[in-house]
Amino acid sequence: MALPELEILVLNTFDFSKDKCDASEDIYQSLKTLHLENVKLSEWQVDRETFPNLEELMLEYCFKLKEIPSAFGDIDTLKSIRVVQSKHELGDSAMEMRKDVEAYTGENILHVHLS
- pLDDT, one tens digit per residue, over 8-65 is 999 998 777 677 777 888 889 999 999 999 998 888 899 989 999 999 999 999 999 9
18 assigned to some structural domain: yes
Q: Is the dihedral of CA 22, 25, 26, 27 positive or negative?
A: positive
76 assigned to some structural domain: yes
95 assigned to some structural domain: yes
Asked whether the beta carbons of 77 and 54 are under 8 A apart, the reply is yes
Is the overall model pTM greater than 0.85, yes or no? yes
3 assigned to some structural domain: no
| CA–CA separation, 12 and 24 (whole Å) | 21
97 assigned to some structural domain: yes
Burial of 68 (0-12, 13-18, 19+ CB in 10 A): buried
Name the residue range of residue 94's domain: 8-114
14 assigned to some structural domain: yes
36 assigned to some structural domain: yes
Which amino acid is it at 71?
A
48 assigned to some structural domain: yes
Q: Based on the structure, what is the number of domains in the chain?
A: 1
